[in-house]
Amino acid sequence: MRSIAIVPVFREVGRIGRVLEKFKPGSVDEICLTLDSPNGSIRAEIEESRKRTDVPVTIIENPDRKGVGHAIREGYDYALSHGFDLIIVMAGNGKDDPREISRLIDPILRGDFDYVQGSRFLPGGRPEKTPLLRGIFSRAFPLFWTLLTGVRCTEVTNGFRAYKASILTDPRVNVWQSWLDGYELEYYLHYKALTLRYRFTERPVTKTYSHIGKRGYSHISPLRDWWQIVGPMFLLRLGVRH
């Protein structure tokens, strides 16, 4: 199976370069960076790190900030049009470790699962210096998912995942809807994978905030973006969205 890592990037100067350099030969077949509103500094950092990365890197740029869902979808477009079978999505700010990709893709490559969620809360996983309120929410939110989907979840908010590209072409799944331009996309797809009974599992991963300052650990604003995270599960459950 040909694999591609999709990495949405927005203002990750000083971080995305280190992420690229952690990719080892054979970890994936290609890396697709989708850049929102890039400037000269981040372009220079990527080009410099690209020289020290032994995995092919494709760059897609948006002159303006379109949203993380839109950025990931551009990666989907590229993956599907270039015949990739396996998709990995991960953060571009260093919270996820490319050296742990094998933990997510091996269950799929063995033919046992279709969709693998990385979990910092499983034995062998590690939440490192998670901000207090985020840690509480990340622990509690999966309980609602377990209740509403009937599938046991220990992690939902971690965007480090791997899944078969064929899920995106399932006629019951429509990731191309405009309301999924933000954080909604990841929760939409997660809900669909669980409720359509794709073979699902979780695997332990590290989620680290130790290298990120308090003001830069996330682009998510609790007051502004909470509904993008919580809403999709309820909208889909109630049949308001499909």
pLDDT tens by residue, 118-158: 999 999 999 998 888 889 999 999 999 999 999 999 999 99
Give 76-87 as a DSSP string. HHHHHHTT--EE
Indicate the domain borders of the chain.
Answer: 3-237
pTM of the model: 0.94
Residues whose CB is less than 8 angstroms from the CB of residue 35 and which lie 6 or more positions away in sequence, other chains included: 9, 10, 42, 46, 59, 60, 61, 62, 71
Check residues 92 and 221 and name the one with the higher pLDDT: 92
pLDDT at 74 over 50: yes
- Look at residue 217 in the predicted model and tell me its pLDDT: 44
Residue 169 near residue 79, CB atoms below 8 Å? no
Q: Give the CATH class of 3-237.
A: alpha beta
Note the pLDDT tens digit of each residue in 8-44: 999 899 999 999 999 999 999 999 999 999 999 999 9
Which one is predicted more confidently, 125 or 221? 125
The CA–CA distances, whole Å, from 79 to 55, 168, 172, 201 equal: 15, 10, 19, 23
